[in-house]
Amino acid sequence: MAKDKLKRWAENKTFTHVFEPNLLPIIKEGKTFMKGEWRKKFYKNDNPLVIELGCGKGEYTVQLAEANPHINYLGIDVKGHRFNHGARIAKAKGLTNVAFLRTRIEFIEAFFAPNEVDEIWLTFSDPQPRDETGLKRITSSFFWNKYKHFIKDNGVIHIKHDNPMIYQNALEELEGTNYVIESHSEDVYGDYFQSLDEQWKKILSIRTFYESRWLEEGKKIHYVRFRIRQ
């Protein structure tokens, strides 16, 4: 496994669609990286930008990118050997609307300018059950308030998760805010799925590595989609 990780890390360095900036200048000197420049410097278009936080192997990033060539996708994770899977697939398929960024979500504001991001996917993020304040849980309102700095007004956040606590917390934290819940279900593949149109069925059927594992264990999958108001 260690050897495999080394191979994946080395391969990432050869990919022009993988960005692995040094975090030290960002943390210590308040430097930024590609902030406000993703479209101009990498995608070379003005298309919408969708990011997946904690993307793991990047299943959502790559499969959505393949289905929507006129939307830009960026998968973000601190573990480069994980998203190497997605980066490889994107390269093999010749997808030019996919990139990956290795960093910690805690410093996410260093990477995006106001209004730069259209949509955020949070897929099976680490639940951090002992984090009562939400300061570590990237699905918490503490983090939405960070995302608000760079997502467009009315931009969409999707949370897909196996953990009922994440789902309930999101609904509770949304209550009384001016964020608008667009859709939610505590059992995506139950009756809710039958009520969806074909496009949403396709989108919500994308299975990540962790989702497949939880489904095999018989867990239900929860989903919340809401719009962020500035």
Burial environment of residue 172 by CB neighbours within 10 A (0 to 12, 13 to 18, 19 or more): exposed
* Shortest-Cβ-distance residue relative to ligand SAM: 56
Q: Minimum CB separation from ligand SAM for residue 153, in Å?
A: 25
Nearer to ligand SAM, 161 or 175 (CB): 161
Nearer to ligand SAM, 17 or 81 (CB): 81
Q: Minimum CB separation from ligand SAM for residue 42, in Å?
A: 19
Question: Do the beta carbons of residue 72 and residue 96 sit within 8 Å?
Answer: no
Q: Which residues bind ligand SAM (CB under 6 A)?
A: 54-56, 77-79, 82, 104-106, 123-126, 208-211
Nearer to ligand SAM, 129 or 178 (CB): 129
**What secondary structure letter does DSSP report for 40?**
I
CA 93 to CA 80: how far, in whole Å? 20
Radius of gyration of the chain (CA): 17
Note if 126 is an active site residue.
yes
Nearer to ligand SAM, 104 or 229 (CB): 104
- Per annotation, catalytic residue among 118, 126, 187, 197: 126
Q: Minimum CB separation from ligand SAM for residue 59, in Å?
A: 7
DSSP for 41-87? III-S---EEEEET-TT-HHHHHHHHH-TTSEEEEEES-HHHHHHHH
Q: Minimum CB separation from ligand SAM for residue 223, in Å?
A: 13
Q: What residues are annotated to the active site?
A: 126
